Amino acid sequence: MRTGYPVFDASDSSACRKDETMGQGYFGSRPKRRDRQQKLLMGPAKNIRELTERTLDLYWASRTGNHKLVASLLRRGADPTVCHPDSGEGPLHVAACHGHFKVVQELLENGCGPNVRTAFPADETALHVLVRNCSAAKITWTRAREVKCLREVLAAPGLDVDACDGAGLTAVHLAARFGLWDFVDLVLTRNPNLDLRIDGDTAREIILRDSGRQWNNLPTRRSESQVVSTLQILLACLRDRREDEFLQMMQSVDDGEVSKVEMQNCLKMACSYGCLRAVQLLLHRGADPNDFAYEPPVVMAAKLGHADVLQTLLETGTVVLNRCDHPLWQRSPLHLAVLSACSSSAPSKYLRCISLLLESRHGLDLDNVDFRGNTALHYAAKSPQRDLTRLLLRAGCDVFVCNQHNEPGFLHVGVDELRAHLDGFVSQKGLAARNHSLELDYQFLRSKRLPGGEMQPMLLLGRSKAHRPLLSHPLLTSFLHLKWQRLKPFFYCKFFAYFLFATALSVYIYHVVQATALQSTQYVRWISVGLLGVFVFGEVLEACVSIKRYLNNFENVLKLVLIVLSVVLLTAGEIIEPWPRRYVATATVICAYVELALLIGTHPRFATYIDMYLRVSRNFAGLFFLFSFLIFAFAFSFFVLYQDDADNKFFSTLGGSFFKTVIMLTGEMEADNLNTNLLGYLLFLAFVLFVPICLVNLVTGLAVSDIAAIRQEAEVGLIAAKVELYADIESLLLGSALQALPRCCCSFVDRKIRLLGNFLVDNKLVWYLDFDNKMEPDSSQVSWFSKFVPESLKKFRRIEWLAIVEEALKISSAPPVDQQASTIASLETKIEQMQLQIAELVSIIKKSENAKHA
């Protein structure tokens, strides 16, 4: 069956498959079948999103034949007249196609008209769908179900039995062509027009010529005026692309003879079929390109790739580009042009349409989202058309807009493409001394549709494993340096508060373990309680931002354990038994100082070393587990040999033997106390040679062998850790938990930490450079930015910043990727032309030689 909308299937993307299954009616195969059905049957739709979901579910329920669910969805507001955005078919069409006559009956009885059409260019009614579907070979019972569907459609009131499809064929004409005489018998009960001439034949002529039997129920012949109207002739001319005939007819009739509705229908048809001259004439005669409820002409022209028609519409200056194909699907002309380009083997005409839309910008929203939350960039990034992605990126599409599955637009964009896009925001201006400047444009990070602070875009980049290396781009690292200057005071406040808490808790634990009943112990206890309250308050604020994100962090879980242990120790530390108290105190001390080490590790200066330590530790733990069976073998052997040796108590039990063997890996071996025989000496000698000497050195070497790669990965991990830290601080300070504070306090904090639209003028950072590469900030930014890189700044920070600027200079000095590609393309074209000229010369020489010989 022909479909209207071009379907783009990104088979390599699970996200696309999720999108396609949104609202599907295969309830038996879904893990939450009952919950899904209960949600569908909870009452009328409350918003446009629920209405969209129910309409999609109606489509899939109709396709699977669940007539009870169809009836329930229809009673709760699902629209049966809307076609699916991808297949272009409505619920009535798919139900008729699959022979679900009960579903057809429910749909026709609950507001679905029998004349609902599929999307262009098929433009078929349910009658056309049934006839085309039955033209294929069918088993008897399937054919019987389709005949029942046909009877239901023919019995529906208001049926236009003479409706033409996109090819200009009526249902009876199709049935006669396919030889479906039983269908013809049924359609004849509605008195169809058999005298409409299509492709040289009428339906009456085909029936009488090809049926091979007598027909007594054929309707009487109609006169010429009864066969076709003026509007049908005009539409037929446009459908067959007979523009000259259409123009002659339109020029022969006055403006009053063609109604406004007919003009609008002709305009939409002309835009759909790409009839440029007809569109120009209709616009000149007053047709309004915006007066359409669904699928206005600009949408049809963009979706079908008629660039000349689209340009004509845009040149009128009155076309509104923020129109969509349907209020439920919310797909703009840019969406549809991109989808068509993705599914086309010849996307050049669609690329031209996209270029026209991007150049015109008559109210066009580049980041408009459809019913799935996808922007045009989401669809373009999943397609193999890389030129399409680059075109949208150059136009300024927001790559951080997330769809309903929380997938940002850049997720399927190549790393190299996104890096080249970032390079475009780094530029140099002016070559003369004192006017040579480096400009870093951070507009890329200002996402209007992404909720949260200005660190959220970089947080999305850091959470994508493929795009995480882009965090080392100088544009982003420079922004992180600037952001750190705004967040640094808040970080130090948090650090010192926790440091005081850990110190006070340590002093209290010392006094409790020593069982000193001093008055100062109570003072330290209450100080610890107060600092614990501050600590708990901060954690509550952080959890209020996102409880799920909070609990998914190991460090936060460690904090919760520390809070519980601290509460137990501070409230009942002096009354519980000594040994349980020591266990609790030990666990509290370990948790407190591990958390302190992790907190220090989040500082930009030390994060690299902490990350390297954790990576080496993970490598070492994996290798140690691999060889732990060998260590256990020696431990077991020592237990068997020395379990009765009174001088070696560790070997008297298997657990003690394993503990002692692990300790011996560090070199603590006491061979003097071993009372053993020759076998014991050989076993001990083998242990010394193969475990402490060979195995430990091997494991250590493997764990730190590729220290350069570990350091490089740690640097990327350092930047990702910075992003996480800054995002946490920003979300804590700007989150909903602190919105209860006075407005002046909230605005003060907002002004202190925001860069974009606040401290950065026009979201840009400009450095003026002389020919000695000495830098000074833009004069408009000296008031605050001079605090960032003063002459007295520590050498480490200044060198780090200058390295970022040097890298940015290299990027801005390199030619753009597009320029390189165009240069290569021009060279390839010249080479091809030279090859053709050489081939022509060779052929001329051969001809001349042949002429001489002749």
The C-alpha angle 478, 481, 484, rounded to 5 degrees, equals 150
Same domain as 828, residue 696: no
- Looking at 688, 705, 722, the residue that finishes a domain is 705
- CA gap 347, 787 in Å, rounded: 52
- CA gap 846, 840 in Å, rounded: 10
Count of C-beta atoms within a 10 Å radius of residue 712: 13
Same domain as 823, residue 699: no
3-state SS string over 683-697?
HHHHHHHHHHHHHHH
Q: How confident is the model at residue 35 (pLDDT cuts 50, 70, 90)?
A: low
pLDDT on residue 788 = 46
Q: Which domain holds residue 128?
A: 1-160
Mean pLDDT for 141-158 is 86
- CA gap 8, 336 in Å, rounded: 11
Backbone angles phi, psi at 239, to 5 degrees: -65, -40
pLDDT on residue 226 = 52
Tell me the two tokens of residue 201: 């034949």
- CA gap 728, 720 in Å, rounded: 12
Residue 830, domain member (yes or no) = yes
pLDDT on residue 435 = 65
CB 140 within 8 A of CB 106: no
pTM of the model: 0.76
Q: 427 pairs with which residues across the strands?
A: 439
| DSSP summary character for residue 454 | T
Tell me the two tokens of residue 333: 């002309």
Same domain as 823, residue 698: no
Interval 592-650: pLDDT, tens: 999 998 888 888 777 777 777 777 777 777 777 877 888 888 888 888 877 776 667 77
Q: 771 pairs with which residues across the strands?
A: none
Number of domains into which the chain is organized: 3
Residue 333, domain member (yes or no) = no
Residue 106, domain member (yes or no) = yes
pLDDT on residue 428 = 81
Tell me the two tokens of residue 15: 């996200």
- CA gap 373, 22 in Å, rounded: 12
Q: How confident is the model at residue 271 (pLDDT cuts 50, 70, 90)?
A: very high
Domain harbouring 61, CATH code: 1.25.40.20
**Cα Dmax for the chain:** 126
Same domain as 696, residue 823: no
Mean pLDDT for 460-468 is 90
Residue 500, domain member (yes or no) = no
In single-letter form, the type of residue at position 232 comes to Q
Q: How confident is the model at residue 434 (pLDDT cuts 50, 70, 90)?
A: low
Half-sphere exposure of 743 (CA within 13 A, CB side): 0
Residue 36, domain member (yes or no) = yes
pLDDT on residue 574 = 67
Coil/strand/helix, residue 203:
helix
Interval 502-543: pLDDT, tens: 999 998 888 887 766 566 778 888 999 999 999 998 888 888
Indicate if the pLDDT at residue 582 is higher than 50.
yes
Indicate if the pLDDT at residue 62 is higher than 90.
yes
Percentage of residues of the chain with pLDDT beyond 70: 79
Mean pLDDT for 454-469 is 90
| DSSP summary character for residue 369 | -
- CA gap 136, 130 in Å, rounded: 11
CB 402 within 8 A of CB 374: no
Whether the bond into 121 is cis, omega within 30 of 0:
yes
Q: Pick the closest to residue 476 from 429, 528, 421 (CA basis).
A: 421
pLDDT on residue 810 = 78
CB 806 within 8 A of CB 438: no
Residue 67, domain member (yes or no) = yes
pLDDT on residue 849 = 74
Coil/strand/helix, residue 766:
strand
Q: String of b and e for 131-165 (b: at least 16 CB within 10 Å)? A: bbbbeeeeeeeeeebbbbbbebbbebeebebbbbb
Tell me the two tokens of residue 788: 């960032």
User: How confident is the prediction for the chain on average, in pLDDT?
Assistant: 79
Between 508 and 758, where is the model more confident? 508
CB 414 within 8 A of CB 386: yes
Domain harbouring 662, CATH code: 1.10.287
CB 421 within 8 A of CB 396: no
Residue 741, domain member (yes or no) = no
Interval 663-706: pLDDT, tens: 887 766 666 566 566 777 777 778 777 777 787 777 777 666 66
Same domain as 697, residue 827: no
pLDDT on residue 91 = 94
- Looking at 669, 685, 705, the residue that finishes a domain is 705
Q: How confident is the model at residue 333 (pLDDT cuts 50, 70, 90)?
A: very high
pLDDT on residue 737 = 58
3-state SS string over 803-850?
HHHHHHHHHHHCCCHHHHHHHHHHHHHHHHHHHHHHHHHHHHHHHHHH
Indicate if the pLDDT at residue 733 is higher than 60.
yes
- Looking at 160, 180, 200, the residue that finishes a domain is 160
Residue 681, domain member (yes or no) = yes
